[in-house]
């Protein structure tokens, strides 16, 4: 396994180089000249040239690319063009609020969706199964904006159970008070697609030969579902969950924006509105790196769940 991990880590190098090159091309050739945006509508060519010189975008492309590569290698992307705040400080202070909301959301969504998928698959084909699938379809058809507005109005404004917006200074205060309603909304939105997908994974396993053999040997239905079927259905479930992990860096844009949560998601929106390219490029690179690591972690989890999986 150690040799496999080392080999995968080496494979990250060309992948990250491709990501760096793609990000550089998109932001420098497609994104336009940021000096015109930062200079404002009332500006002259001298001001624009001065801004381009301060930003370093007046250098040849190969020089700018080498600077970008050094920034990635040193994890130092400089300062924000709009606020002059160090990007490392931006990420360090915004990551915590995003994870405070999204890590519990991911854990609860996975546990609840898997349990419901097993329960629905247990009564597959029944009226309960059809009603649950209809509710999931209805839930998928409703925009997250509707959930945010309705839940804020009813639970926060009318009943006063949660604050409408805000963020505190303590972890437990943020987790219990300010994150509860965003997590609840996230669960309502995410359980429907997760449940439908996990139900499909479980039903695929129920029709396998090993399930019929276990029933023929007299194994109880609960043990078949919660031990044998769940273990084999865990492979695609792990794939789906691990693919969602990099999204924790970005957060839920709309949730963070509507609830004034100072997370990565809201920071990305502000950076796009300001054309703050260094912030966007840094977050893009980190998300790409997190995606590669999550894929490696998913492969290792496959081996832990199913010893028959061979890591080659």
pLDDT at 153 over 80: yes
CATH number of the domain to which 202 belongs: 1.10.3720.10
d(CA 197, CA 117): 8
57 and 202 both lie in a single domain: no
- Of 53 and 262, the structure prediction assigns the larger pLDDT to 262
- Of 245 and 293, the structure prediction assigns the larger pLDDT to 293
> What is the pLDDT at residue 267?
83
Helix (H, G, I), strand (E, B) or coil at 149: helix
> What is the pLDDT at residue 58?
65
> What is the pLDDT at residue 90?
85
> What is the pLDDT at residue 100?
85
143 confidence band (pLDDT: 50, 70, 90): confident
> What is the pLDDT at residue 56?
66
Average of per-residue pLDDT values in the chain:
80
Rounded to the nearest 10 degrees, how much is the dihedral formed by the CA atoms of 266, 107, 147, 286? 20
53 and 183 both lie in a single domain: no
pLDDT at 250 over 70: no
Long-range contacts at 295-301 (CB < 8 A, ≥ 24 apart) = 295/242, 296/5, 296/8, 296/9, 297/242, 297/245, 298/238, 298/239, 298/242, 298/243, 299/4, 299/8, 300/1, 300/5, 301/238, 301/242
Mean pLDDT, residues 140-163 taken together: 85
> What is the pLDDT at residue 260?
82
64 and 136 both lie in a single domain: no
Least confidently predicted of 55-64, 79-88, 173-182: 55-64
252 and 120 both lie in a single domain: yes
∠ CA 182-183-187, nearest 5°, is 120
Mean pLDDT, residues 41-67 taken together: 68
> What is the pLDDT at residue 261?
85
Count CB neighbours of 203 within 10 A. 16
> What is the pLDDT at residue 190?
85
Angle subtended by helix axes 230-244 and 277-305, to nearest 10 = 170
> What is the pLDDT at residue 154?
87
240 and 298 both lie in a single domain: yes
pLDDT at 40 over 80: no
- Look at the chain and count its residues: 312
153 and 45 both lie in a single domain: no
Whether 82 is in a domain gets the answer no
pLDDT in tens, 85-119: 888 888 888 888 888 888 888 889 889 988 888 88
pLDDT in tens, 190-213: 888 888 888 888 888 887 888 788
Cα Rg of the chain (Å, integer): 24
> What is the pLDDT at residue 45?
64
Whether 85 is in a domain gets the answer no
Our count of domains for the chain comes to: 2
70 and 212 both lie in a single domain: no
Whether 87 is in a domain gets the answer no
Whether 259 is in a domain gets the answer yes
> What is the pLDDT at residue 249?
65
pLDDT in tens, 69-84: 888 888 888 778 777 8
132 and 52 both lie in a single domain: no
220 and 276 both lie in a single domain: yes
Whether 198 is in a domain gets the answer yes
Annotate 63-128 with DSSP letters as a single string. Answer: HHHHHHHHHHHHT---B-TTT--BHHHHHHHHHHHHHHHHHHHHHHHHHHHHHHHHHHHHTTTSHH
Whether 84 is in a domain gets the answer no
2 confidence band (pLDDT: 50, 70, 90): confident
- Of 52 and 220, the structure prediction assigns the larger pLDDT to 220
263 and 138 both lie in a single domain: yes
Whether 54 is in a domain gets the answer yes
Domain final residue pick, 40, 74, 108: 74
Whether 295 is in a domain gets the answer yes
Least confidently predicted of 59-68, 93-102, 126-135, 237-246: 59-68
- Share above pLDDT 70 across residues of the chain, in percent, rounded to a whole number: 86
40 and 181 both lie in a single domain: no
Domain range for 241 is: 96-305
């Amino acid at each position: 396994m150690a040799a496999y991990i080392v080999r995968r880590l080496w494979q990250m190098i060309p992948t990250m180089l491709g990501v760096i090159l793609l990000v550089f091309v998109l932001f420098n050739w497609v994104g336009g000249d940021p000096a015109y945006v930062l200079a404002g509508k009332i500006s002259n060519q001298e001001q624009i040239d001065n801004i381009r010189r301060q930003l370093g975008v007046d250098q040849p492309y190969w020089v700018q690319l080498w600077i970008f590569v050094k920034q990635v290698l040193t994890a130092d992307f400089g300062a924000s063009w709009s606020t002059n705040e160090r990007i490392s400080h931006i990420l360090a202070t915004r990551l915590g609020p995003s994870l405070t909301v999204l890590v519990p959301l991911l854990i609860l969504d996975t546990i609840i969706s898997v349990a419901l998928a097993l329960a629905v698959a247990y009564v597959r084909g029944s009226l309960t199964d059809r009603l649950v699938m209809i509710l999931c379809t209805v839930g998928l058809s409703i925009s997250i904006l509707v959930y945010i507005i309705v839940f804020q109005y009813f639970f926060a404004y009318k009943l006063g159970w949660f604050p409408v917006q805000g963020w505190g200074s303590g972890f437990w205060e943020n987790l219990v008070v300010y994150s509860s309603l965003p997590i609840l909304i996230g669960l309502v939105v995410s359980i429907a697609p997760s449940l439908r997908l996990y139900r499909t994974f479980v039903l695929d396993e129920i029709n396998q030969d090993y399930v019929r053999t276990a029933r023929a040997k007299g194994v109880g239905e609960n043990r078949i579902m919660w031990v044998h079927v769940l273990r084999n259905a865990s492979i695609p479930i792990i794939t789906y969950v691990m693919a969602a992990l990099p999204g924790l860096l970005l957060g839920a844009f709309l949730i963070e924006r509507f609830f004034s949560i100072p997370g990565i998601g809201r920071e990305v929106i502000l950076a796009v509105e300001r054309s703050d390219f260094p912030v966007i490029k840094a977050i893009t690179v980190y998300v790409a790196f997190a995606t590669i690591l999550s894929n490696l972690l998913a492969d290792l989890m496959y081996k832990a769940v199913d010893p028959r999986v061979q890591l080659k």
